[in-house]
């Protein structure tokens, strides 16, 4: 794995000569952030050796290098999910590549279903903890160079970044929730009882991404920040049919708020 990562990294460095300090996974809701990046290079995933190729509608597939908020960044436009059939080490491969490209912080977005009865559709939630119900991406042969065999998870999401983001949101008059994200494999959305279960075990929202990338980043010592758009509610009495299209529609409405928080956060890193 290490050799594959290093060969991908040297390919990228040859092509871009870029040394980004911030990595961004442009999940649902952050698509519009691309417009604000002063793009210097962009590489389609299918042109990068060893890289997986994304298969979901609404998720593009390229790695973008440039400047945003005065920082050198690398952004993944399109991410990989376990439900697409990739092994977990491939779902998280790009995060390892970003680490070896030099990132010092990882920023992530996603969409999720709210199970906290106080949440509303269209709310943003800063993730302050997670419950991982997807296979752990660190299962398998241990590579010392990535970090320890048994990584600490007492602060999966960086407290300093959370505080900064909360302050920024307040200043901009943007309402944000702060809570726990339950990660499931998907690709089915939840049954009413599954939503109820995720609430009982301590979740505020449920979604199908982010946690694999964060686990791998934390093993490698990268501070993480993640934010979610609540696109539907798994709350008794409020459960209606959920579709991927509806998730995308709600997310695009909340995009401006999320983009603003991320942009300001990056400029303050
Ligand atoms: N469940 C799982 N993933 C999701 C949901 C949901 O309700 N909404 C958006 N992503």
pLDDT band at 249 (very low <50, low <70, confident <90, very high): confident
pLDDT at 53: 77
Whose tokens are 């007492």? That residue is 154
pLDDT at 57: 59
Quick one: tokens of 74? 């690398």
Residues 78-121 have pLDDT tens digits of 899 999 999 999 999 999 999 999 999 999 999 999 999 999 99
Distance 222 CA to ligand 1 centre (A): 26
Residue nearest to atom 7 of ligand 1 (CA): 113
Q: Which of 149, 27, 152 is nearest to 94 (CA)?
A: 27
**Which of 122, 206, 210, 233 is the best mutation target for the ligand 1 pocket, counting ligand atoms within 8 Å of the beta carbon and taking the most?**
206
How far is Cα 17 from Cα 172, in angstroms, rounded to an integer? Answer: 36
Quick one: tokens of 41? 């290079």
Q: Which of 238, 256, 212 is nearest to 52 (CA)?
A: 212
Ligand 1 binding pocket, CB closer than 6 Å? 111-113, 189-190, 206-208, 231-232, 234, 242, 247
Q: Is 198's pLDDT higher than 90?
A: yes
R_g over Cα of the chain? 17
Q: Which of 65, 34, 70 is nearest to 268 (CA)?
A: 70
**Which of 57, 186, 198, 232 is the best mutation target for the ligand 1 pocket, counting ligand atoms within 8 Å of the beta carbon and taking the most?**
232
Q: Please check whether residue 205 is in contact with residue 181, taking contact to mean a CB–CB distance below 8 angstroms.
A: yes
Q: Give me the domains of the chain, ranges plus CATH numbers.
A: 2-267 (3.40.50.1580)
Look over the chain and give the mean of its residue pLDDT values, rounded to a whole number.
Answer: 94
Residues 233-245 have pLDDT tens digits of 999 999 888 898 8
Distance 28 CA to ligand 1 centre (A): 11
Distance 33 CA to ligand 1 centre (A): 22
pLDDT at 192: 96
Q: Is 211's pLDDT higher than 80?
A: yes
How far is Cα 247 from Cα 200, in angstroms, rounded to an integer? Answer: 24
How far is Cα 254 from Cα 256, in angstroms, rounded to an integer? Answer: 6
pLDDT at 58: 52
Whose tokens are 């609404």? That residue is 58
């Amino acid at each position: 794995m290490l050799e594959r990562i290093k060969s991908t990294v040297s390919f990228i460095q040859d092509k871009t000569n870029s040394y980004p300090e911030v990595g961004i996974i442009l999940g649902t809701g952050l698509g519009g952030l691309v417009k604000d990046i002063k793009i210097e290079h962009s590489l389609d995933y299918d042109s990068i050796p060893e890289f997986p190729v994304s298969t979901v509608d609404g998720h593009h597939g390229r790695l973008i290098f440039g400047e945003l908020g005065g920082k050198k960044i690398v952004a993944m436009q399109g991410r990989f999910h376990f439900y697409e059939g990739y092994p977990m080490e491939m779902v998280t491969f790009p995060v390892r590549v970003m680490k070896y490209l030099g990132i010092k912080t990882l920023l992530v977005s996603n969409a999720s279903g709210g199970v906290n009865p106080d949440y509303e559709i269209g709310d943003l939630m800063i993730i302050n903890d997670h419950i991982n119900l997807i296979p752990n991406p660190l299962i398998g042969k241990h590579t010392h160079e990535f970090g320890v065999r048994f990584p600490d998870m007492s602060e999966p999401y960086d407290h300093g970044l959370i505080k900064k983001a909360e302050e920024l949101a307040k200043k901009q008059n943007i309402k944000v929730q702060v809570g726990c994200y339950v990660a499931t494999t998907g690709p089915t959305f939840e049954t009413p009882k599954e939503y109820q279960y995720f609430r009982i075990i301590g979740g505020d929202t449920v979604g199908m991404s982010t946690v694999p990338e964060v686990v791998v980043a934390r093993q490698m010592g990268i501070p993480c920040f993640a934010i979610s758009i609540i696109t539907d509610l798994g709350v008794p009495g409020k459960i209606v049919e959920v579709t991927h299209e509806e998730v995308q529609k709600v997310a695009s409405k909340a995009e401006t708020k999320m983009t603003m928080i991320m942009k300001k956060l990056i400029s303050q890193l």
